[in-house]
Every structure is written in structure tokens, then in C-alpha cells.
């Protein structure tokens, strides 16, 4: 299975042969045995190497999850005999990763010198899939619904605000009702996105139409467009802390209803968390993630 994953990652038997330090006949024999046991073909040969068949593409994430589970088992054994060691995979949404990856990795390497850390960056739905498959041991997620396959622990809440540039002719009040957002040209992230999902839920309940003039995936790109006075946006208040300390921007608190982004810690329910995982959760607590995000911590 390790051989199958490496070939899939490299797209070539010859490159996998070099990486695995194994002869190509042996490698080919291992793949034939795996295909026989699964009763399906996993690779299709091309002029430049190999590609996954449809069945191989379906099987790949499960194989990766199995290998990650084995790695976590090895980590647990190593911890029982030698203390904290092994490898941990932590899932972070891009905006959170941008803020906490540096402090987290520095603190992790200082405290757990014999262990290694992998930061898996992705949108919350992708991270949820990784948690369920066992490829990610712990993650921070936005607005994750209750799921019996996950252990979810609310960490903090971000308040969403309407933001504009101070050079706009139209100045923002200190507070604004949600239904009045329909009067502003908006720059928003497309779905799926936690901020957009919160806005869409409130919009449907209020029965209003929003004037969305541009959709952009990243919050920093959105702020750049706001700075260029293309329009206004709805963002977490903490984003203004990153954006030149808020210089050049003004914001209005949104009311009726307030829009909140909830950040949750998540671990798989079906797999026991390793000691390294528990210690990493404690490390995240000491880093004060809510303060780094400019969010309000939820009392536990």
C-alpha cells in the first residue's frame, strides 16, 4: 500500500523505484498483488508514466488514511517507551494558517524536539474529510455542524463587520442593520466559505437581495479591492488587525442579526488521540489563538 501511494504521488514507477529504493520488477509485483487482492486495476499507463484509474482515485485517500493511522499507532508506541516523538498532522483553514502557523511551529519545535509537525491547509469541508479518514489528527474549523464522527470543542467567536475604505464618499455608521447591506456593492468570497455561509443564512432569513459585484476566494484579496474602492465587504473584525492595523479602513457593526464565525477544535471520534496530540492541543491553548485572531474566547 505504501508503494501504491508513492507511485500515485510521483506519477511514475521509475521515480517511485528510486524513492523507495526497490527494483522495478519487485515494485510491479507488489502492485499486481494489491490489484489482485482488490479485484480491480489501480493504474493506467501513459506515454509519460502512469495515472490512477477511476478505482485507483477512489482508493487513494483511503490508502493514505490507513498509512496515517499506522503512523499514529507507531507514534503511540514510541510515546509509551521514549516520551513524546512521532509525527502529527494539524489541519488549518487558510486564514487561520496565515496567522498561527509561525507561532505554532516555533513553539512545537521548541517543546517537542523529537517530533515532527505537518500543517495541512485547506477549507473546512476538506479538513473535515481528512479528520474522518484519519489523515488529520486535529484541526481548527469554521462553523462545523455537529457530526457523530468528530469531537468538536468551540474555541472562539469572530464577529463579522461591514468594511469600507475611508476615502469612499459614503461613510459608514458605527452600526448597521443586516437588511441595509442590500444598499452596498459587496465583494464577498464564493461558496463554500464560512463567512459567505453566515451571510447567506442571514440573507435567506431576512428575505433580502444583496448586490454582490465581485466574488474573490481570499480575504486579503478582498481587502485589496476594498482599498481600491471597488466596493464594500463583510469580514471578521480581526482581519482589520492584519490589514495595516486597520489604517485606511472603517467598519460598521452588523446588527439584527449579528453575524458570528465560530472557530472549533476538532478531532476524529473513532480514533484515540495520541499523547502528542493532547500536548499539541494544550500548546494551542497556551498560544491564545482567540487573541491572535482578534476573536472572543468561548468559556469552557
| Strand ranges, E, within 257-297 | 260-268, 296-297
Q: Is 216 exposed, middle or buried (0-12, 13-18, 19+ CB in 10 A)?
A: middle
pLDDT of 294 reads 85
- Residue 298: enclosing H or E segment and its boundaries? none
What are the start-end ranges of the E strands in 122-172? 138-142, 150-165
- Asked if 151 and 165 sit in the same domain, the reply is no
Would you state the pLDDT for residue 242?
66
Q: Tell how strand 138-142 and strand 86-92 pair up.
A: parallel
Do 225 and 236 fall into the same domain? yes
Q: What pLDDT was estimated at residue 78?
A: 65
Overall number of domains in the chain: 3
Buried b (16+ CB within 10 A) or exposed e, 133-152: bbbbbbbbbbbbeeeeebbb
**pTM, whole model, 2 decimals?**
0.70
Query: So what's the pLDDT on residue 82?
Result: 55
**Of 40, 60, 80, which marks where a domain is finished?**
60
What is the predicted pLDDT for the residue at 1?
87
Q: What pLDDT is recorded for position 173?
A: 92
Q: Rounded distance, CA 170 to CA 82, Å?
A: 63
Nearest-angstrom CA–CA distance, 65 and 48: 28
Identify whether residues 221 and 246 lie together within a single domain.
yes
CATH number at residue 144: 3.40.190.10
Shared-domain flag, residues 247 and 172: yes
What integer pLDDT is reported at residue 252 of this predicted model? Answer: 94
Q: Are residues 15 and 134 in the same domain?
A: no
Shared-domain flag, residues 162 and 293: no
Domain with residue 190: its CATH number is: 3.40.190.290
Predicted confidence at residue 26, as pLDDT, reads: 84
Q: Are residues 257 and 114 in the same domain?
A: no
CATH of the domain at 26: 1.10.10.10
Q: Are strands 150-165 and 296-297 parallel, antiparallel or unpaired?
A: antiparallel
Same domain, 14 and 101: no
Residues 44 and 116 both lie in one domain: no
Based on the domain organization, do 93 and 225 belong to the same domain? no
The domain boundary residue, chosen from 37, 60, 83: 60
pLDDT in tens, the chain (300 residues): 888 888 888 888 888 888 887 888 888 888 888 888 898 999 888 877 788 999 999 998 888 888 877 777 776 666 555 556 778 999 999 889 988 999 999 999 999 988 899 999 998 888 998 898 888 999 999 988 889 999 999 999 999 999 999 888 888 999 999 999 999 999 999 988 889 999 999 999 999 999 999 999 888 899 999 999 999 999 998 887 766 555 789 999 999 899 998 999 999 988 788 888 999 999 999 999 998 888 888 876
Co-location of 30 and 55 in the same domain: yes
**Residue 82, domain extent:** 64-155+263-297
| Same domain flag for 139 and 274 | yes
Amino acid at each position: 500500500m505504501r508503494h501504491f501511494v508513492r507511485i500515485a504521488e510521483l506519477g511514475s514507477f521509475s521515480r517511485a523505484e528510486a524513492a523507495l529504493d526497490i527494483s522495478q520488477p519487485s515494485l510491479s509485483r507488489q502492485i499486481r498483488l494489491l490489484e489482485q487482492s482488490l479485484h480491480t486495476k489501480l493504474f493506467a499507463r501513459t506515454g509519460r508514466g502512469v495515472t490512477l484509474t477511476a478505482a485507483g482515485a477512489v482508493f487513494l485517500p483511503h490508502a493514505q488514511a490507513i498509512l496515517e493511522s499506522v503512523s499514529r499507532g507507531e507514534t503511540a508506541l514510541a510515546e509509551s517507551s521514549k516520551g513524546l516523538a512521532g509525527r502529527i498532522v494539524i489541519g488549518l483553514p487558510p486564514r487561520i494558517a496565515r496567522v498561527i502557523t509561525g507561532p505554532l511551529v516555533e513553539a512545537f519545535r521548541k517543546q517537542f524536539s523529537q517530533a515532527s509537525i505537518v500543517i495541512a491547509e485547506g477549507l473546512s469541508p476538506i479538513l473535515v474529510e481528512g479528520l474522518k479518514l484519519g489523515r488529520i489528527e486535529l484541526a481548527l474549523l469554521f462553523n462545523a455542524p455537529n457530526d457523530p464522527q468528530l469531537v468538536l470543542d468551540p474555541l472562539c467567536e469572530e464577529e463579522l463587520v461591514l468594511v469600507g475604505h475611508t476615502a469612499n464618499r459614503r461613510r459608514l455608521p458605527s452600526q448597521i442593520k443586516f437588511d441595509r447591506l442590500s444598499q452596498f456593492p459587496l465583494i464577498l468570497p464564493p461558496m463554500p466559505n464560512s463567512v459567505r455561509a453566515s451571510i447567506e443564512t442571514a440573507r435567506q432569513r431576512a428575505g433580502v437581495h444583496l448586490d454582490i459585484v465581485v466574488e474573490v476566494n481570499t480575504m486579503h484579496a478582498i481587502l485589496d479591492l476594498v482599498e481600491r474602492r471597488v466596493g464594500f465587504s463583510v469580514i471578521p473584525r480581526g482581519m482589520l488587525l492584519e490589514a495595516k492595523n486597520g489604517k485606511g479602513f472603517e467598519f460598521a457593526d452588523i446588527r439584527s442579526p449579528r453575524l458570528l464565525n465560530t472557530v472549533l477544535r476538532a478531532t476524529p471520534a473513532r480514533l484515540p488521540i495520541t499523547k502528542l496530540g493532547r500536548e499539541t492541543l494544550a500548546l494551542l491553548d497556551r498560544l491564545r489563538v482567540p487573541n491572535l485572531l482578534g476573536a472572543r474566547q468561548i468559556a469552557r
